[in-house]
Amino acid sequence: MKHFASFLATALLLATAAQAQTKLTAPPLSPTTRIHQNFSTSYIDLTYSRPSLRGRTAFGSLVPFGTVWRTGANTITKLRFGEEVKINGQAVPAGAYALLTIPDAKEWTFILNRDTAQWGSYEYKPALDVLRVKAKPTKLAAPVETMSLSVENLRPNAADLVVSWDRTQVALPLTADPDRMVMAQIEQAMKGEKKPYITAAQYYYNTGKDLTPAIGWVDEAIKASPSYYGYYWKAKLLQKQGKSKEAIEAANKSLELVKSDKNEVSKAEYTRLNQEVLAAAGAKK
């Protein structure tokens, strides 16, 4: 009985000691990363875990061809769009999706699925798919050790979601329609008390729209508060319209006003910018 009591006491002591041990935090083999990328008028968010080769071959071996892959490691890869996008002409509403893929030697399948809580692809349900599209992989000259998801080739209305691992890279083109949303914002804002005259004019300039209303907006901004910034943008708009004489007058007015700016950095910057407009408009030195 004494031996049993001694054994029990020892067992309890060991159990208590084990519970009291400090929990170790070891480096993860497939660390999680989060990407927040501004895109169009909102953003693209990515959350995924990044496996490494560690002497292995990625596709056709570690990730078998023709099987659904979580596009990463551990929990499912999550993709969130801040606004509606189009993929291969198909509209995808704003929101969060699981990103899965089916790699193959000559063609990949990208899948967006509603179940963002699944672990890996073990409980993948095709009935919850929002979209399936094909994409062609390309062969990289040098291997990528750690699997990477990135948003590349950013333009105001388009980008590529790119998977890179081992010697394989595949891109999924995304498009958006920021113009429709920005134009609606401008229309609504111009009905308000604080009208974004110069910001709206800049948008027209940058997107190649009719500059006549843009110049009118800048004139309204100058009327309310004359500034070298306003005259600079008037000069740019006029120069783009081919109205060199008026552009030179506006740029010279901007240069005159910027002389009183106490901020030496902005003074130097807008002096340089106005001189560029004058040169483009053919002003004589």
Do residues 222 and 137 share a domain? no
Digit-coded pLDDT (tens) for 81-102: 999 999 999 999 999 999 999 9
pLDDT score, position 10: 53
At residue 127, does pLDDT exceed 50?
A: yes
Burial of 259 (0-12, 13-18, 19+ CB in 10 A): exposed
According to DSSP, the residues that pair with 45 across neighbouring strands are 36, 80
Q: What percent of the chain has pLDDT over 90?
A: 86
- Is the residue at 27 inside a domain? no
pLDDT of 70: 97
Contact present, 57 and 155 (Cβ < 8 Å): no
170 lies in the same domain as 48: yes
**Residue with structure tokens 């407009």?**
277
Task: Determine the average pLDDT of the residues in 73-80.
Answer: 97
Task: Report the pLDDT averaged over residues 126-148.
Answer: 98
Using pLDDT thresholds of 50, 70 and 90, give the confidence band for residue 12: low
Mean pLDDT, the chain, integer: 92
- Residue 263 located in a structural domain: yes
Residue 58 domain flag: yes
Which one-letter amino acid corresponds to residue 198? I
Q: Are 61 and 68 in contact (CB under 8 A)?
A: no
pLDDT for residue 191 is more than 50: yes
Residues 258 and 130 in one domain: no
Both 76 and 105 in a single domain? yes
Asked if pLDDT for residue 9 goes beyond 60, the answer is no
Strands 85-87 and 42-49: unpaired
For residues 56 and 122, state if they share a domain.
Answer: yes
Report yes or no on 108 lying in a domain: yes
DSSP track, 132-198: EEEE-EEEEEEEEEEEEEEEEEEETTEEEEEEEEEEEEEEEEEE--HHHHHHHHHHHHTTSSS--HH
- Counting the structural domains of the chain, the total is 2
Indicate if 138 and 40 belong to the same structural domain. Answer: yes
116 and 163 share a domain?
Answer: yes
Strand partners, 150: 162
pLDDT category at 138 given cuts 50, 70, 90 is: very high
Domain boundary among 175, 190, 225: 175
Q: Are strands 108-113 and 129-135 parallel, antiparallel or unpaired?
A: antiparallel
Asked if 186 and 200 count as a contact pair (C-beta separation under 8 A), the reply is yes
pLDDT at residue 259 above 60?
Answer: yes
204 in a structural domain: yes
Domain boundary among 140, 159, 175: 175
Same domain, 189 and 109: no
- How far is the C-alpha of 79 from the C-alpha of 96, rounded, in Å? 6
Answer whether residue 11 is part of any domain: no
Quote the pLDDT of residue 240: 96
Whether residue 261 sits in one domain with residue 140: no
Q: Which domain holds residue 95?
A: 32-175
Q: Is residue 26 in a domain?
A: no
The DSSP H or E segment spanning 76 is strand 73-81
Question: pLDDT tens for residues 13-44?
Answer: 445 555 556 788 899 999 999 999 999 999 99
Residue 260 DSSP SS3 = coil
pLDDT in tens, 146-175: 999 999 999 999 999 999 999 999 999 999
193 forms beta bridges with none
Structure tokens at 84: 């509606």
Q: Please check whether residues 169 and 56 belong to one and the same domain.
A: yes
- What is the full DSSP assignment across 227-258? -HHHHHHHHHHHHHHT-HHHHHHHHHHHHHHH
Can you give the pLDDT at residue 7? 46
pLDDT at 15: 53
Q: Classify residue 52 as exposed, middle or buried by CB count within 10 Å of its CB (0-12, 13-18, 19+).
A: middle
Residue 4 binned pLDDT confidence (cut-offs 50, 70, 90): very low
Q: Read off the DSSP letter of residue 274.
A: H
**Rounded percentage of the chain residues whose pLDDT exceeds 70:** 92
Based on the fold, state whether residues 163 and 183 are members of the same structural domain. no
Reduced to 3 states (helix: H, G, I; strand: E, B; else coil), residue 264 is helix
pLDDT band with cut points at 50, 70 and 90 for residue 185: very high
| pLDDT exceeds cutoff 60 at 136 | yes
| Residue 65 belongs to a domain | yes
The CATH number given to whatever domain includes residue 182 is 1.25.40.10
Domain stop point among 175, 199, 226: 175
Q: Is the pLDDT of residue 251 over 70?
A: yes
Clarify whether residues 226 and 243 are in a common domain.
Answer: yes
Could you tell me the two tokens for 82? 């801040």
